[in-house]
Amino acid sequence: GWCPLSPTGAQTTQLLVEPPWRPAVLWDRVTLTCQGSGTTGATTWCKDGKPWWKQGKDHLIVTLSATYECDRPSSGLSPAVKVSDDWLVLQVPVRALLEGDTVTLRCRG
């Protein structure tokens, strides 16, 4: 089976990334936390578009490079988060940016 698609504009499930930089990189010990309405413990984790792990926890420590999403029955599928294992990355903070904002970039390897 495949992970479901949520209707446009209906997404309320969020996937929080710690540390809060994008792209996320494996060597940062990335933790993903699924936040949404519905029963705690009903989270399905998706890796590269396919159901991967159904468990009671709403967070996981990432050990594989892939694109992750989480699905909560009442609030739908989260936006995707890519976790990379690239040896050199240019990272930006995970927050909404507007034109004219000052932003800190990190070049890491």
Domain 14-108: CATH superfamily, name plus number = Immunoglobulins (2.60.40.10)
pLDDT the model gives residue 30? 95
pLDDT tier, 48 (very low <50, low <70, confident <90, very high otherwise):
very high
Kindly state the percentage of the chain with pLDDT values over 90.
Answer: 38
Comparing CA positions, the residue from 99, 94, 63 lying closest to residue 79 is 94
pLDDT tier, 52 (very low <50, low <70, confident <90, very high otherwise):
confident
Domain segments of the chain: what residues?
A: 14-108
Dihedral, CA of residue 88, residue 92, residue 93 and residue 98, to nearest 10: -170
Predicted model pTM: 0.81
Comparing CA positions, the residue from 44, 31, 63 lying closest to residue 3 is 44
Locate 51 and state its tokens. Answer: 């159901």
Average pLDDT rounded to a whole number, residues 88-101: 85
pLDDT the model gives residue 12? 82
pLDDT the model gives residue 11? 53
Average pLDDT rounded to a whole number, residues 64-73: 90
Beta-strand pair 24-25/59-61: unpaired
Residue 26, classed as helix, strand or coil, is helix
* Number of other CB atoms surrounding residue 95 within 10 Å: 9
